[in-house]
Amino acid sequence: MAQIQWFPGHMAKARNQVQEKLKLVDLVLEVVDARVPEASRNPMMNQIVGQKPRIMVLNKKDLADSQKTAEWLAYYRKQGYEAIAIDAQHAKRLQQIPQLARQMMKAKLEKQKSRGIRNPGLRAMCIGIPNVGKSTVLNRLVKKNIAVTGNRPGVTKNQQWLTADDTFQVLDTPGILWPKFEDETVGNKLALTGAIADTVYQSDSVGLYGLTFFQQAYPQALRKAYAE
Ligand SMILES: Nc1nc2c(ncn2[C@@H]2O[C@H](COP(=O)(O)OP(=O)(O)OP(=O)(O)O)[C@@H](O)[C@H]2O)c(=O)[nH]1
Ligand SMILES: [Mg+2]
């Protein structure tokens, strides 16, 4: 089976831009796909983000197995991250994110208040692979449809600041993959969940991988989707 790879030039540039802007933000929102949380994490990001406080955002929870999502949340919390599961597509408000961010940055906010800044603000950067819903999450956060979204990977091409209110600003960034998937099932999972442009892989082999997975793990769901 041909290896799946997709790391176009704009992603290398976007990765450098993440590195450049990191010093401007207080925390990072790492958005992953709740159906494949670990496969949809860019391994290059740990090195780039380093020790910056981070919230793992498991988005598209409406499409995932809720029991598995609970297990993933526990897994990330055990690793020392804050973690939440959301459905940005249908949620009206995503207040949990700014609330959690303020809680995490409490010490800094208190310090600024003690220096006389009445409403100290926070800045967050949103990162993740293509099509996991970063721009959708941020639009919900600012309660306006500012960022362009779409159901194909590579919609956001440039970084963009969005302002929720005086106290919370978020930076939207283009989805970034990495030069080589070490584990070839990662390529299949990312192709199936829409993170990879469908022109760069063979849909029959990816489809076969998906069919085999659903036959084993969710046979009833498969039957319901195609046979009933
Ligand atoms: N079902 C479901 N769909 C979602 C959710 N969040 C976003 N989407 C959809 O996923 C697609 C991708 O959303 P975007 O916000 O454009 O994704 P992105 O991560 O910004 O993508 P890039 O800019 O390409 O990196 C869109 O069709 C959204 O409507 C969710 O929680 N559930
Ligand atoms: Mg986007």
Res 1 pLDDT > 60: no
Categorise residue 50: left if φ over 0, alpha if ψ from -120 to 50, beta otherwise: left
Mean pLDDT of 149-165: 95
Question: Using a 6 Å cutoff on CB, does residue 153 contact ligand 1?
Answer: yes
Distance between CA 156 and CA 9 in Å, rounded? 14
Question: Using a 6 Å cutoff on CB, does residue 69 contact ligand 1?
Answer: no
Q: What is the pLDDT of residue 100?
A: 96
Question: Using a 6 Å cutoff on CB, does residue 34 contact ligand 1?
Answer: no
* Cβ atoms 122, 168 nearer than 8 A: yes
CA 133 to centroid of ligand 2, rounded, Å: 7
Q: What is the pLDDT of residue 92?
A: 80
Mean pLDDT of the chain: 95
Exposed, middle or buried: residue 25 (CB in 10 Å: 0-12, 13-18, 19+)?
Answer: buried
Query: Using CA positions, which residue lies closest to atom 4 of ligand 1?
Result: 89
Structure tokens of 110? 């208190």
Domain 9-172, CATH 3.40.50.300 — does that match?
Answer: yes
Assign 228 a pLDDT band (cuts: 50, 70, 90): confident
Residue 209 CB coordination number (10 Å): 18
Q: What is the DSSP letter of 158?
A: S
Which residues, including other chains, have CB under 8 Å from residue 168's CB and lie 6 or more apart? 98, 101, 121, 122, 123, 124, 141
Could you read off the pLDDT of 160-211 as tens digits, one per residue?
Answer: 999 988 889 999 999 999 999 989 899 999 999 999 999 999 999 999 999 9
Domain boundaries, the chain: 9-172
**Stated pTM of the model:** 0.96
Q: How far is CA 62 from CA 69, 102, 203, 204, in A?
A: 10, 26, 24, 26
Query: Using CA positions, which residue lies closest to atom 24 of ligand 1?
Result: 154
Mean pLDDT of 117-127: 94
Testing ligand 1's pocket by substitution, the residue of 35, 86, 131 carrying the most ligand atoms inside 8 A of its CB is 131
Testing ligand 1's pocket by substitution, the residue of 42, 45, 136 carrying the most ligand atoms inside 8 A of its CB is 136
